[in-house]
Structure 1
Amino acid sequence: MKIAYISTYVPRQCGIATFTNDLIKAVYYNDHQQVIDQHVFAVSDEKGAYDYPSEVVYEIEQGSRQHYIGAASIINSGAYDVCLLEHEYGIYGGNSGGYILSLLKRLRIPLLVNLHTVLENPSVDEKAVLEEIVQRADKLIVMTTYAVGILQRVYSVPLSKIVVIPHGVPSYPLGNREAKSALGLAGKRVLLTFGFLSRNKGIDVAIKALQEVVRRFPDVVYLVVGRTHPNVLKHEGEEYRHHLHALVDELGLRQHVVFDNSFIENERLATYLSACDIYITPYLNEAQITSGTLSFAMGAGACVISTPYWHAKEALAKGRGILFNFKDHEGLSRELVHLLEDDRRLQAVRTRVAGLKFDLSWNKLALQYMELFLESRQQYVFDQDKKSHNKKLELPPLDLQHVRRLTNQVGIIQHATYATPNYHHGYCLDDNARALLLALMVQEDHPDRDVMDLISTYVSYIHYAQRADGNFKNFMSFDNRFLEDVGSEDAFGRCIWALGYLVRSRTNASFHQIGKEMFERARPHLQKLRSIRAIAYCVLGVAHYLEQAPQHEGFIAELRGLVQFICHEFNANKGVDWEWFEKIVSYDNAIIPTALLRANVYLHMDDVEQIALASASFLDGILFRKQELSLIGNDGWYAAGSPLAEFGQQPIEVYSTMLMYEELYKIDRRPIYRERVERSYQWFLGGNDLQLNLFDKETGGCCDGLESYGVNRNQGAESTITFWLSTVHMYRALKNHPLAKSSASKSSTFTVA
């Protein structure tokens, strides 16, 4: 067996680092028949800060996404049998530790995940990250049965995927008396709390409880062992520790409270735990699914008094410990006095706990991990074989609830804060044109959806936005005031695209007629445009118009003029290794070669096709430079001779990219183009640089973009409409859903917008 561990690791002072080190040693020294080779891919919060032991073969810088990708490559090529991830949100980079997905989604071996935190009320990002981990993992390991319920209830994880293995504990060679003597505490009644110090540990509650205890039992000493948590130290310094020292002085407890401000190694920790009579975990929050310190104390046979956080309620049930209410120092004081008064009761609790010592020992748990490693290796081969025979893109069912949420009687609202419409930004022509395109496609493919009300709303907005001279206004405030006399060229172009589709769709005679009138009224402005993307959008609109009037010489002439401008820009800007229309590749790029290919159905010009194919090939080399679709980000774009911006990736790019590859497929039936269509769509569902899903199945919305830190969780009109355009588009392409029925009889392999 060759095992890869992804975790923090010693000498980094971190509970998970210690856990992983203990597990590796237990597996290595256990009595088994396997030859074990164990390597660690250690996550560091500071480059070069740790002198790692030999089992660490790769250091992952927490904030470097490329390091996660590099680790995946090494694991895949390193003949490892299984990978074990120690998961805790805070130790990995990106929003809620999302960078780890860049590693996990690339793995080609079985993946087991130890969940050190399972949240019952996660944030949107925390839930999204864990759901992606769940999807990739072969098995999830939790340390309490309570965590099983949360995984099933909150994250919809099947029970068959979950394994419960308790937190392991070290061996305790010294007895209680010997340990007290070793610490210079002979004859003392020892209370103990250990672990990283932070406010949520509730140490001040325990200190307040001591006043009455030491009055009755002057030989009591309370040991607070452990350094301040590194994150607390970074942001607050030692403020909380100083507060605790001041509280001790205020209550006159200096002779009874001892602080050990250091990271305790296992051997000395075992001595502390063996010496304690009563272990206290006065944590302030119930949402703690596992506590290594609690497990250690029980493994040492200590009598534990604790607040009722999740792990404690489960572990201390059936008389294995005592619970008191959160922040109740008086209740804790009473329980301590009762135990110290009644030694038989205290020893009875310790006797019950002592029976767990073997069950929690690393030696026993190492065997469970080994069985899981072997089982996962065998099952993975079988599962991968099944997947290779049943590989199929799963499309979400059509769900326009968020489109309707954003739409009122005026039009569709531009932006959302998360999934809530943001009225501050009002409306725009661009989004209402996009929304009209979507509603028309849905009406064509699935008329029982009844989207005529949406079509009416979007057509009305466009009609209201058109000026007397045929041009259009764009932005409108929520109180229905247009904010400009003339909108942008891009907004004009998108409007022409949607109106052209409305004219060719003939969805409704009335809508068809008003669409045709608006389209022809705007015609004088076509040749005035200078934005190359606006011209491309208009090309698509004119091409749609010509579908119902293919001999219209006037619009064929308009089309020729628009295409000649695009081709002129290509010839003016191309250079060595630069076959593009501008000196910068920026937004909605694939729409330009797409427009040329669509136009050439009517123009039949060889140079137009050559330019379209050359620019599409150039763009393809950029978009699929990696394993998945990797869009050009708006955080700097891609200028000739400059680095490419990787983030600020936006959904609008995906739809035009899908259109481009479908046009290429019509010309050249190479399977790679159909594959590119599907892989482009997968960008929404996690096939992207961060391996994060942008579609929200609960709201029916799509997140606004992919940033370096994670997903922009706002679900505005542009991103949501673009997602559903792409989805309807995929249904048409795959021909495997009721949405495809009406388009199946049409002559083109793809019937698209």
Structure 2
Amino acid sequence: MAAVNRIAFIGNSLPRRCGIATFTTDLQSAVAASRSDLETVIVAMTDHGQVYDYPATVGVEINDDRQDDYVRAAAYLNIGGFEAVSLQHEFGIFGGEAGGQIMALLSRLTIPIVTTLHTVLSEPTEAQRDVITRIVECSSKIVVMAEKGRELLRSVYHVADEKIEIIPHGIPEFAFVEPDAAKAALGFSNKSVILTFGLLSPNKGIEVMIDAMPSILKTRPDAVYVVLGATHPNLVRDRGEAYRESLMAHARQAGVEGHVVFLDQFVDKKTLLDFISMSDVYVTPYLSEAQMTSGTLAYSFGLGKAVVSTPYWHARELLAEGRGILVPFGDAAALGIEIAKLLTNDVLRQAMRKRAYSSSRAMTWERTAERYMSVFENAGRRHRLKTIARMDTGTLLRDSRAPPEMQLGHFLSMCDDTGLFQHAVHSVPDRAHGYCVDDNARALLVACALNNPGEERLPEALTARFAAFVQHAWNPDTRRFRNFMGFNRCWLEDKGSEDSHGRTLWALGACALTDASTSRRSWAAALFSEAMATVEDFRSPRAWAFVLLGLDAYCSAVPGDVQATRLRAVLADRLILIFDTVATGDWVWFEDGLAYDNARLPQALIITGLASKTSRCVNIGLESLRWLVKRQTSAKGQFRPIGTAGFGDRRQPSQAFDQQPLEAAATIGACLAAWRADHDVEWKAEAARVFAWFLGSNDLSASLVDLETGSCRDGLHPDRPNENRGGESVVSYLLGLSEIRQIARLSESRAKPAPLVA
């Protein structure tokens, strides 16, 4: 496990007044103290309109509503030699809808990210779910502070268990002491002190505790309830001190004004520990269960205080097994009974204090820092693949270790005993839309690609299943392949489109040449021969291109097929003819508009020209591909595929959205063909640039793939990725990945020196 020497913490920082600022500062201090040679820094979030006198530990400041600040912070971290980033996530501290602007920073980082989620919502909005999902995917580890957090991450957000770490909220190392000395120092001698600490806001349940005071005073007339803490800054900004004043009025109306003390202070750690030390009972009467973490609860528990609390998530776990007392939400009577019982029974109170103190020793900041350091040092193992998206293209092509591994988990989950499902809802196969031959033909292409050296073949039964789907799709009555099939295995049509027929022939040609099974190669060649006869009547340029891709493989597998050779010449001539008819000086293309799978047209001409030694084919293919590449490049130099909103627009500027994986896979395949044609290394660089689109080098700086499962989102909307991960998307990613890996292997083999001959 490699040592980590420079760590950055992203979150709020003191002197900003909030719990996240306190936590971030405490964690940074504890980690910094764990090793003398460790360098740490805080990247501080500043709420809009505010200015703070940050200490030297803050290396850079982000104004939460300024996108450029997030980008600038990412550059600071990337070039600063940092080896791990610890993100403190809480809703409300980052800009954008649901705090989504933090992705402008995270998506640009080239170092491992460990994210601590201070809140895990059980019923997130769509925007909140999207942000958390994206944060989880770009993080090496997710830290929560309670078992409930792990449970929600698994059940609501579908996070893999091995990605989750539970590290309890840290607490200061403090001796187990009686409260008398602190009471005397703070002016509360001879009082039974009940304490609540924290920023005042309406969700804290202070009113309920005030309502409980009359019953407590019946048995402990010396009781005093100390409410320590400034009003939450956001509340002050919106309403001034109206809420604090309403609480004071509530105490007057309840007749306990003389026994409720409001201390409007945001205190430093030493002062806070003195106040906790003087309390006999600490109370957190919060009104909602959906609180994953309470720093005030952790601190009071760690100092060995008798705690009475409502059963919010953190309290329910921390105070279980007699370590504290839980009362129902909003139940002033129960609160009064339990606190009075503790204040009048020294034996009970002391026993609870000792249980809390002894069980909290593993939570000290020293122990917490050790656990975080272990997570930081292990994060690099998960991080290696993520860095691919941020590598320059030269590195991607020079380093054979750089391309991601071929992960097939999602692909396999999208298959049943019929074939590959067409669509998914998020990552769950959508049975309602059944199957199509388009996607199962692409799946057969993936199976063929995995027969290449360096790859692990698909299970034989799965490849056979895709072949069986293609066979079943063939309709001998119409001499065409059907396309769409319902989940009930009933075909929804007698014949599919020309494009789906062409794409199926492409898969059959590849299968005839490269399948691992001799018998299946023969089957594929026979069905190809039978199904190609109808192609000559097709009018779709993309269908011609798909068939040419299939013919390239088929003619190598069956070199004596005269009809196939003739068909290849006919289809290539047709593509050349429409190019010559349509292309002009500024529109170097086959049609008046761009649509889907665009790069397959030049790819088909390039490989056909190479096989037939027809330079005109190769030259038109290269010329049109160069023009397409230029149109698919954003102002920032990133790959920007033709958006679906612009399909069919006649000679108009390309629409940016929606962007789909199909276009990236097609462009990678075409660039590989171009590289083989003219050996220009720029084609390899272009392929790598396009592949980086999958991994986050795109208009939204959002990764479309999960490198651990191999799933791929269905595309980019203008404001977010499409969270569904259907069949077309996963096979597009896997086909693009297989070709990038092939380029890397070829580059590596060519770079190796020739062996010495004795």
TM-score normalised to the size of structure 2?
Answer: 0.69
2:342 aligned to 335, 339, 346, which one? Answer: 339
After TM superposition, list the pairs within 5 Å mapping 1:741-752 onto structure 2.
Answer: none
Secondary structure of 2:472's counterpart equals helix
Contact 2:400–2:745 at 8 Å: present in 1 too?
no
Structure 2 residue aligned with 1:554: 566
Shift of the alpha carbon at 1:324? Answer: 2.3
Q: Deviations over 1:254-296 (max 9, x none)?
A: 7489697988454886786466432113457888664211234
After TM superposition, list the pairs within 5 Å mapping 1:257-656 onto structure 2.
Answer: 264=266, 266=268, 273=276, 276-282=279-285, 290-298=293-301, 302-306=305-309, 312=315, 321-324=323-326, 327=329, 329=331, 332-343=335-346, 345-346=348-349, 391=401, 393-396=403-406, 398=408, 401-405=412-416, 408=418, 412-438=420-446, 448-449=460-461, 451-463=463-475, 468=478, 490-491=499-500, 493-498=502-507, 500-501=509-510, 507=520, 509=522, 512-525=525-538, 528-529=539-540, 533-547=542-556, 548-549=558-559, 551-552=562-563, 554-565=566-577, 567-568=579-580, 571-572=583-584, 574=586, 587-618=596-627, 620=629, 630-632=639-641, 634=643, 645=656, 648-656=658-666
1:694 aligned to 705, 729, 732, which one? Answer: 705
2:676 aligned to 662, 666, 683, which one? Answer: 666
Using the alignment, how far apart are the partners of 1:391 and 1:27 within structure 2? 33
Letter aligned with residue 448 of structure 1: E
Structure 2 residue aligned with 1:722: 732
Shift of the alpha carbon at 1:718? Answer: 1.1
1:192 aligns with 2:205: no
1:130 aligns with 2:133: no
Shift of the alpha carbon at 1:82? Answer: 5.7
Contact 1:503–1:516 at 8 Å: present in 2 too?
no
Contact 2:213–2:256 at 8 Å: present in 1 too?
no
2:182 aligned to 160, 175, 184, which one? Answer: 175
Identity of aligned residues (%): 28
Structure 2 residue aligned with 1:76: 78
Letter aligned with residue 539 of structure 1: L
Using the alignment, how far apart are the partners of 1:395 and 1:566 within structure 2? 40
Shift of the alpha carbon at 1:5? Answer: 3.7
Q: Deviations over 1:643-669 (max 9, x none)?
A: 973x64432233223312321332244
Contact 1:628–1:687 at 8 Å: present in 2 too?
no
Shift of the alpha carbon at 1:716? Answer: 1.7
Contact 1:44–1:62 at 8 Å: present in 2 too?
yes
Structure 2 residue aligned with 1:657: 667
Using the alignment, how far apart are the partners of 1:10 and 1:205 within structure 2? 30
Using the alignment, how far apart are the partners of 1:462 and 1:196 within structure 2? 70
Shift of the alpha carbon at 1:341? Answer: 0.9
1:6 aligns with 2:7: no
Using the alignment, how far apart are the partners of 1:27 and 1:456 within structure 2? 58
Change in CA separation of 1:573 and 1:502 when aligned onto 2, cut-off 3 Å: farther
Contact 2:195–2:276 at 8 Å: present in 1 too?
no
1:705 aligned to 700, 715, 718, which one? Answer: 715
Contact 2:426–2:725 at 8 Å: present in 1 too?
yes
Structure 2 residue aligned with 1:751: none
Contact 1:211–1:251 at 8 Å: present in 2 too?
no
Contact 1:473–1:485 at 8 Å: present in 2 too?
yes
Secondary structure of 1:73's counterpart equals helix
Change in CA separation of 1:557 and 1:671 when aligned onto 2, cut-off 3 Å: closer
1:20 aligned to 4, 24, 34, which one? Answer: 24
Using the alignment, how far apart are the partners of 2:344 and 2:180 within structure 1? 28
Shift of the alpha carbon at 1:671? Answer: 5.9
Change in CA separation of 1:439 and 1:393 when aligned onto 2, cut-off 3 Å: closer
Structure 1 residue aligned with 2:753: none
Secondary structure of 1:451's counterpart equals helix
Contact 1:174–1:271 at 8 Å: present in 2 too?
no
Structure 2 residue aligned with 1:216: 219
Structure 1 residue aligned with 2:88: 87
Using the alignment, how far apart are the partners of 2:301 and 2:589 within structure 1? 68
Using the alignment, how far apart are the partners of 2:83 and 2:742 within structure 1? 40
Please provide the CA RMSD for this pair. 6.0
Shift of the alpha carbon at 1:542? Answer: 4.2
Change in CA separation of 1:671 and 1:265 when aligned onto 2, cut-off 3 Å: farther
Change in CA separation of 1:656 and 1:4 when aligned onto 2, cut-off 3 Å: same
Structure 2 residue aligned with 1:749: none
Letter aligned with residue 520 of structure 1: A
| Residue-pair matches, total | 696
TM-score normalised to the size of structure 1?
Answer: 0.70
Contact 2:328–2:334 at 8 Å: present in 1 too?
no
Using the alignment, how far apart are the partners of 1:173 and 1:31 within structure 2? 33
Letter aligned with residue 339 of structure 1: L
Using the alignment, how far apart are the partners of 1:612 and 1:257 within structure 2? 86
Q: Deviations over 1:334-376 (max 9, x none)?
A: 43121111246546766887899999898x799x699969x97
Change in CA separation of 1:365 and 1:697 when aligned onto 2, cut-off 3 Å: closer
Change in CA separation of 1:544 and 1:347 when aligned onto 2, cut-off 3 Å: closer
Shift of the alpha carbon at 1:7? Answer: 1.6
Change in CA separation of 1:570 and 1:674 when aligned onto 2, cut-off 3 Å: same
Using the alignment, how far apart are the partners of 1:727 and 1:110 within structure 2? 23
Runs (5+) with no aligned partner, structure 1: 737-743, 745-753
Letter aligned with residue 664 of structure 1: A
Secondary structure of 2:308's counterpart equals strand
Using the alignment, how far apart are the partners of 1:115 and 1:346 within structure 2? 33
Contact 1:197–1:227 at 8 Å: present in 2 too?
no
Shift of the alpha carbon at 1:456? Answer: 1.9
Q: Deviations over 1:477-513 (max 9, x none)?
A: 6678887898656445434534554666772655543
Secondary structure of 2:415's counterpart equals helix
Contact 1:308–1:323 at 8 Å: present in 2 too?
no
Contact 1:570–1:582 at 8 Å: present in 2 too?
yes
Using the alignment, how far apart are the partners of 2:356 and 2:434 within structure 1? 63
Contact 1:81–1:110 at 8 Å: present in 2 too?
no
Using the alignment, how far apart are the partners of 1:94 and 1:463 within structure 2? 53
Using the alignment, how far apart are the partners of 1:416 and 1:371 within structure 2? 36
Contact 1:98–1:129 at 8 Å: present in 2 too?
no
Shift of the alpha carbon at 1:16? Answer: 1.4
Letter aligned with residue 279 of structure 1: Y
